[in-house]
């Protein structure tokens, strides 16, 4: 049981980090250089530095995005600082001593903290070990109590000159209701005046817990406790606690043999860990307060922590994965006048993105250095070389799995394209994949290599010139100007002429040279597909770098299936892709099993807003490219999902989207064999420390999934009083009755202040949701963990069971109870108090899966597996259906022609 055997270990803080090291902190803007002692607190919550005057600056570990040393660290530009560090001396050792720590609330608003050590190579170990703490999955997904503990650690770090905790700091930490804070301090026999101070020894963890229990009482947990402990006794025994864990905190779908339920003797360790009373511990008893801390502990994390690790099969072809992808990666803001920055390539790659985009344009004389910018807009320019260097630096810091560079190439100069290719070769070095792997030649019918095959490799996606290889078809016109990724077709390697190929000789309206475009034409080009239609000829040097990701113009799903070339890819604007998935959903899924597709925002999204990626994931599109600089709902969902599987940037698609022998239609309500639909119920019970001010609050719950899933967005009522410290909602559960494919669904929970001010949110894949009572620690809009706010919820996820199956489900899960109810009904039937059981039953709706009996009435449907077969072994009609129908799963409809014939025969 994971509750007693933790899957993940909290980050390790090495002794030298907490002991501290002498550095000089410098700042270019103020031209200052100050000696400091840099430390990490023993719990790994904060990086902080102390100046000689005892002033301290504190940096939350979760806000750190990168650490850099050597030539990748910041170097002073100010001449005064350069002289201080002897930077301009020939034998300067500055690069061996430097350390830069990058932090910020999102990928754009960044702060660079620059340090120089007194000894060489000290910064390197600090950089590596700080990032090891930051990258530990439990840093972002810590338990509720860990976040509460974080507050205490910070209070004990911020001491006054006398070495005491200023009460003022406690008021600032819990600002929503000062009177309640004063009352809680009084209850702990601590001073409460704003000018008072508390000796740290008088505020240990036990007193802090008492303070929190008085400040934020938990009546809803008291109710849970009361309903599960021995009546008239103020405690819960080991037996009661084990029963509570097995009944409420355990997934009811687990097999008892493979995943044994908790036993009373096993839960004693939990009582020892969370029960504040020593006497209760000796007696094996848990008090209501102990229950509160147990439900705040890591054993009750809302997500399945094992799924945060790299747990999926990484040996499937590339086309079998969803790939974390970015659009116009270089932009920090809008598409029309935003600032471009090489730093965005670092930040997106560090966030786990595996496909970045480079819009390349010709550089101006005299340097003629290729640039990256958004053409025909007022966005700023960056050097192509700077972007390549940023990618080389950060490509494999977070994930070792392959990175795809999606080029939109407008450089119509052979010389400058050759320079681009040279930068790629020299800067990337061995990281660049220049030739296809021997096992996976570029031939029809050969699948793509796997992410594991391509570990540590960078793949180029750029137009492939047809004239380079002698095997290319001369009929394909060289240098055709078309939309990005919609270009000339690479000829099949066996030189066969395909009848379905697009007649490339016929120029389209948009196939014109840049010089011939007037302003109106440019606007037209930008209206939907952006500058896509202006891509230019791929010259030999750049073309030779392209192998497994060859962009072509999309013709049709039929032609693509006929050619069967896994190494070609087509890109679609969100509008074109939406049109295809609504008209040809099954074909789109089949296409994405074999080869890759890339979706990108329409050109009219000048504010860099994003489309919802879910609809394109539903048909298996691999690279659903989003604007990473905009932390809207689509981007929040993208970041939350790709946080799983080790944040490697690849998520394995469901087998229905991979296996050639299976067909999947995301719009169908039909059953899918092997797939069991789920029912998810969410009860919002309470909130804790939701806002800095006393305000009314409410919560929204939403499900993202397939079109035929239960599509509802629920909302609690507004709290009756302005209480943001511990609001309680007493409402019915929000039920998402039928989630067709849980592997494609995710749950979003958002807390709001009255008036619509955002408090925090959490997006969790349905397959990673844990059943039971849990604290949901909320995230910021940019998916950063928030220390204070949390929601206490009850989640229950189980297999979907149609109404027509209710009796059968009860009978299988609890036969004694079922037959007891049957006996009671029999007694009532004799008294004539109820109708005869099973008569005049209506046909189930299309959503259910009843089976007609010989009279045409619907009997209880079959169960999955042998249990159901045994239960109905005496029913010949059912046996007949079982033998000829496909395997049955919950929520399925049998639509085989054999079943229909059998039903007609019976009804005849």
Write b or e for each residue in 333-351: b if 16 or more Cβ atoms lie within 10 A of its Cβ, otherwise e.
bbbeebebbbbbbbbbbbb
Which H or E run includes 173?
helix 167-173
Between CA 278 and CA 61 the distance in angstroms is: 35
Encoded tokens for 187: 């209850």
Kindly give, in sequence order, each residue whose CB lies less than 8 Å from that of residue 432, ignoring residues fewer than 6 positions away.
Answer: 424, 425, 457, 458, 460, 545
Residue among 169, 139, 168 nearest 152 (CA): 169
Residue 586 — φ and ψ, nearest 5°? Answer: -65, -40
Is 374 assigned a catalytic role? Answer: yes
Annotated catalytic residue, options 240, 320, 374, 410: 374
Find the radius of gyration of the CA atoms of the chain.
Answer: 31
Which H or E run includes 269?
helix 268-274
Annotated catalytic residue, options 327, 410, 761, 770: 327
Q: Measured in Å, how far apart are the chain's first and last C-alpha atoms? A: 54
3-state secondary structure (DSSP) of residue 94? helix
Between CA 533 and CA 337 the distance in angstroms is: 21
Is 775 assigned a catalytic role? Answer: no
Between CA 448 and CA 404 the distance in angstroms is: 14
Between CA 7 and CA 5 the distance in angstroms is: 6
- Residue 759 DSSP class: E
3-state secondary structure (DSSP) of residue 103? strand
Residue among 528, 534, 638 nearest 578 (CA): 528
Residue with tokens 């096992």: 439
DSSP 20-78: -EEEEEEETTTTEEEEEEEEE-TTSSEEEEEETTS-EEEEEGGGEEEEEEGGGS----S
Encoded tokens for 508: 């389209």
Task: Give the Å distances, CA to CA, from 171 to 166, 184, 266, 778, 842.
Answer: 9, 11, 41, 22, 63
Peptide bond preceding 366: is omega within 30 degrees of 0, i.e. cis?
Answer: yes
Burial class from Cβ neighbours inside 10 Å (0-12, 13-18, 19+) for residue 191 reads middle
Encoded tokens for 130: 């700080």
Kindly give, in sequence order, each residue whose CB lies less than 8 Å from that of residue 185, ignoring residues fewer than 6 positions away.
Answer: 167, 170, 191, 192, 211
Which H or E run includes 795?
strand 785-799
**Geometric angle at alpha carbon 742, from 740 and 746, rounded to 5°:** 115
Between CA 489 and CA 495 the distance in angstroms is: 12
Between CA 637 and CA 393 the distance in angstroms is: 27
Largest CA distance in the chain: 105
**Geometric angle at alpha carbon 302, from 632 and 176, rounded to 5°:** 65
Catalytic residues, by residue number, are 327, 374
């Amino acid at each position: 049981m994971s509750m007693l055997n933790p899957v993940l270990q909290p980050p390790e803080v090495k002794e030298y980090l907490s002991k501290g090291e002498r550095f000089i902190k410098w700042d270019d803007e103020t031209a200052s250089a100050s000696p400091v002692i840099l430390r990490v607190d023993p719990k790994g919550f904060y990086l902080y530095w102390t100046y000689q005057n005892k002033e301290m600056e504190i940096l939350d570990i979760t806000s750190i995005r990168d650490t850099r040393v050597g030539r990748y660290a910041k170097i002073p530009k100010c001449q005064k600082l350069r002289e201080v560090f002897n930077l301009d001396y020939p034998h300067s050792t500055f690069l061996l001593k430097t350390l830069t720590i990058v932090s910020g609330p999102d990928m754009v608003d960044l702060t660079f903290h620059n340090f120089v050590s007194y000894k060489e190579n000290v910064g390197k170990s600090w950089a590596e070990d700080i990032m090891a703490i930051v990258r530990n999955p439990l840093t972002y997904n810590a338990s509720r109590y860990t976040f509460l503990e974080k507050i205490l650690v910070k209070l004990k770090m911020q001491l006054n000159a006398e070495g005491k905790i200023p009460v003022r700091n406690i008021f600032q930490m819990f600002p929503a209701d000062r009177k309640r804070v004063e009352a809680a301090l009084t209850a702990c026999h601590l001073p409460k005046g704003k000018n008072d101070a508390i000796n740290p020894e008088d505020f240990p963890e036990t007193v802090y817990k008492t303070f929190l229990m008085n400040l934020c009482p938990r009546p809803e947990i008291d109710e849970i406790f009361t309903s599960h402990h021995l009546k008239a006794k103020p405690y819960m025994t080991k037996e009661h606690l084990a029963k509570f864990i097995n009944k409420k905190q355990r997934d009811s779908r687990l097999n008892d043999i493979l995943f044994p339920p908790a036993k009373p003797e096993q839960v004693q360790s939990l009582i020892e860990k969370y029960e504040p009373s020593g006497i209760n511990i000796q007696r094996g008893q848990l008090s209501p307060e102990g229950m509160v801390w147990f439900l705040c502990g890591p054993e009750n994390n809302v997500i399945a922590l094992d799924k945060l690790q790299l747990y999926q099969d990484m040996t499937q072809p590339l086309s079998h994965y969803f790939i974390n992808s970015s659009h116009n990666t270089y932009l920090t803001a809008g598409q029309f006048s935003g600032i471009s920055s090489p730093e965005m390539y670092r930040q997106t790659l560090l966030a786990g993105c595996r496909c970045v985009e480079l819009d390349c344009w010709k550089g101006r004389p005299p340097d003629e250095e290729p640039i990256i910018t958004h053409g025909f807009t007022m966005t700023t320019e960056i050097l192509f070389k700077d972007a390549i260097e940023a990618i080389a630096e950060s490509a494999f810091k977070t994930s070792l799995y392959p990175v795809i560079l999606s080029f939109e190439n407008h450089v119509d100069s052979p010389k400058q394209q050759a320079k681009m290719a040279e930068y790629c070769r020299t800067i990337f070095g061995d990281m660049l994949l220049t030739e296809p792997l021997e096992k996976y030649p570029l031939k029809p019918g050969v699948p793509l290599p796997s992410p594991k095959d391509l570990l540590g490799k960078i793949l180029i996606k750029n137009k492939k010139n047809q004239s380079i290889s002698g095997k290319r078809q001369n009929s394909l016109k060289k240098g055709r100007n078309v939309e990005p990724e919609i270009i000339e077709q690479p000829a099949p390697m066996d030189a066969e002429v395909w009848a379905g190929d697009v007649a490339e000789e016929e120029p389209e309206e948009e196939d014109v040279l840049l010089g011939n475009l007037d302003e109106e034409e440019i606007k037209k080009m930008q209206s939907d597909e952006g500058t896509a239609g202006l891509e230019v000829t791929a010259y030999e040097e750049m073309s030779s770098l392209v192998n497994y990701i060859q962009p072509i113009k999309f013709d049709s799903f039929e032609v693509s299936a006929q050619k069967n070339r896994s190494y070609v890819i087509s890109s679609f604007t969100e509008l074109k892709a939406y049109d295809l998935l609504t008209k040809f959903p099954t074909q789109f899924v089949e296409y994405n099993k074999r080869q890759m597709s890339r979706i990108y925002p329409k050109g009219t999204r000048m504010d860099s807003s994003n489309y919802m990626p879910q609809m394109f994931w539903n048909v298996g599109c691999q690279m659903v490219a989003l604007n990473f600089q905009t932390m809207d709902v689509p981007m929040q969902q993208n970041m939350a999902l790709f946080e799983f599987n080790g944040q490697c940037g690849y998520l394995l698609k469901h087998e229905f989207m991979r296996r050639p022998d299976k067909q999947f239609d995301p719009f169908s309500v039909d059953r899918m064999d092997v797939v069991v639909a789920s029912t998810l119920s969410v009860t919002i019970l309470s909130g804790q420390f939701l806002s800095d001010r006393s305000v009314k609050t409410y919560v929204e719950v939403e499900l993202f999934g397939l079109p035929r899933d239960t599509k509802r967005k629920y909302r609690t009522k507004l709290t009756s009083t302005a209480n943001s410290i511990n609001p309680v909602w007493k409402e019915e559960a929000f039920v998402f009755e039928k989630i067709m494919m849980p592997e494609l669904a995710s749950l979003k929970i958002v807390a709001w202040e009255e008036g619509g001010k955002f408090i925090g949110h959490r997006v969790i894949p349905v397959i990673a949701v844990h059943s039971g009572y849990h604290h949901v620690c909320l995230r910021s809009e940019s998916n950063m963990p928030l220390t204070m706010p949390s929601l206490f919820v009850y989640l229950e996820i189980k297999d979907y069971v149609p109404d027509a199956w209710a009796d059968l489900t009860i009978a299988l899960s609890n036969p004694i109870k079922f037959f007891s109810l049957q006996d009671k009904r029999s007694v009532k039937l004799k008294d004539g108090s109820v109708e005869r059981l099973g008569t005049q039953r209506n046909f189930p709706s299309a959503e259910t899966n009843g089976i007609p009996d010989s009279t045409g009435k619907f009997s209880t449907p079959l169960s999955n597996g042998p249990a159901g077969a045994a239960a109905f072994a005496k029913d010949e009609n059912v046996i007949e259906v079982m033998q000829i129908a496909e395997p049955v799963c919950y929520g399925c409809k049998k639509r085989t022609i054999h079943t229909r014939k059998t039903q007609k025969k019976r009804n005849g």
